[in-house]
A and B are shown apart, each in its own frame.
Chain A
Amino acid sequence: MHIELYNVSKRFGDITANDGVSLDIREGEVVALLGENGAGKSTLMKMLFGLYPPDDGAILVDGKETSIHSPQKAMSLGIGMVFQQFSLIPALSVLDNLLLAYPRAPFWTFRHLFETSAARSGQILDYLHELAPGLAPHTLVRDLSVGQRQLLELIKVLNLNARVLILDEPTSVLPPQEAERLWGMIRKLAEGGRSVVLITHKMEDVMACADRVVVMRNGKLINTLERDDCTEVSLVQMMMGERVDRAPVTTPPHDSVTRQPAKVLIRDLAASQGLQSIRGINLELRPGEILGIAGVSGNGQHLLADALVGLARLSAGDVIIDGVTLQSASRSPASSGQVSYIPEQPAVNAVAADLSLTVNVALSHFRNLSFFPHWAPEKATTESILENYEVRPPNPDLKAGQLSGGNLQKLVVGRELKDEKDLIVAAYPTMGLDAGAAHDIYQALFRKAAEGAAILWISEDLDDLMEYAHRIAVIRGGEIAGIFDPREADRYDIGRAMTSQQSDETPPTPDTNVETRTGVSG
């Protein structure tokens, strides 16, 4: 199947997401759609998948102009898309999830019918057996790792007989080994005659498996290259463009940090909440140190952060800052003025949607407010945050719910970093932000480190962790699985610590890392 997008444009209000993009996707080819967040890659592919109609231009399938007005239409043409957010039902089994997406599912779904009758299993479970031989069909999806879930999404799309597969940032949630496995699978699918469009902002993805690279920036198609004709450096330049150079993110130098005595001591920390638990956590943070916490999500990061800032009760251990016990198993948990917390999904977890921005900023120190609060200084503080962090629209009287998620995130970061703190716990502070905003947040966060705060930074982005953190602690199954120095460590070693029990040379097979659990909050 050959698809051509001709001069396609899409506008959302004043923003032009795609401006006259032409692109063709040939049979048996892997096209990498490369660009930064917000470059318009996903929008372009969502139009091909029938989620938005294009404002301008045409889509040609095998030379015929075709209007793709719904995902159902796209699927009937043989175009399938795997999104960043999975549409799997965790409480149901692998087989049930496959049956739900299968167009001609049988009425009786007795499990033994699939395992005994070859004819039937030949249809629904074929790809499962082929691509994930170790995965039992009756496993519940909530017991699967992120990589396995993604694989299941892919199998769902393959079951629809898709000839063109669109994968939206598939490697962003995967540890390095699983990403490597995915690249192999993409190559195999292409060799089988399917076309794969890989939406990505990562250079490794392009280098590992693309035939052709399409670079996008600000909604425009910048260039189309054969893989062999391009180098990483040239691609980065095309991706970034002649952007006004921002001041580089500076972190306190390693040597000056490691010479300091420890400021924050975490000793034998243990806690449990719902299905999640952490135990035996021993960490030290020096003043100005940025300690990265890496791990597959759902391995206890969330609970660790909650335990440090006093939102979860400790079952053992304590947290000591400058010799003073802050949290301890013998006391009820309490928040402290010395600690800042940027929780994950700040738009949900850190603001009250129906209150104004001023009140939301004041909430972080509401114990210090007088009984009849003076709002003028609070408003001034809020205005300065809005200005410094480029929150749009910069009106402190708006309700928090009226701002977009990215802007709320910037507001929360600004609020949490405005005072001097001893410990800053930041969980995924840049998740979902475009490169520019992420850059600004890193700058603000690490400036605090230079001022002497200790920073515990939880992230899923191993590249960023390797670049900025002084040390990286890997959390797996609620325990620290290893602490690495990013100057010397190999990313594959870190990846192994994130997923498997032993650090031997064999890559993990799909069924060895089922210990990943989903959090109750998720």
Chain B
Amino acid sequence: MAIHKSSTRSTVILLAIVIVLASAAPSILRAFADEPGAGTIQISTTGAGPREVEETTQKAIERQYTAAWKNMTAALKDNRADLLDAAFVGSMRDQLARRIEQQKKSGTSTRYADGAHQVNVVFYSPEGTALELRDTTEIEQQTLDGSKVIHSEKVRQQYLVIFTLVEDRWKVRIMQALPTS
């Protein structure tokens, strides 16, 4: 009799949990849908100037900026400067290559995990060969010595990024973290 009573109670509790979860599911799913996923880059061109950003340029920048983060993350994790050429050029490429060289010498590496990016185009040059973005993102950065994690931190960071058109591709020439106000 006691066993029967207990199993009935468990069934009722289980049913209650299922009902609560089922009723909450739409809101949970909506919340996830509204929240941009990790590494997603949304570019807004509102307020960009003096030239209006063409739709094809906006798509190209989204693609190249996504690639830049992906390549930078992989290059700093595995200490591979060869991964930089596809998305970086000039002083930014040199800067990352120098850091990788130093990491290699000291046996260290850096792991980045970037969250969603909120990107605004703040400048697009009149002749259409240079573009500046302001990106706000949350990044998790880990400093490793060999496989040992020395330091781990999560920060909200703002970057100024300058893209220039190199041959037929947009590449990052400057990517500078801004002091938090």
Partners in one complex: no
Q: Which residues of B pack against A, CB within 8 Å?
A: none
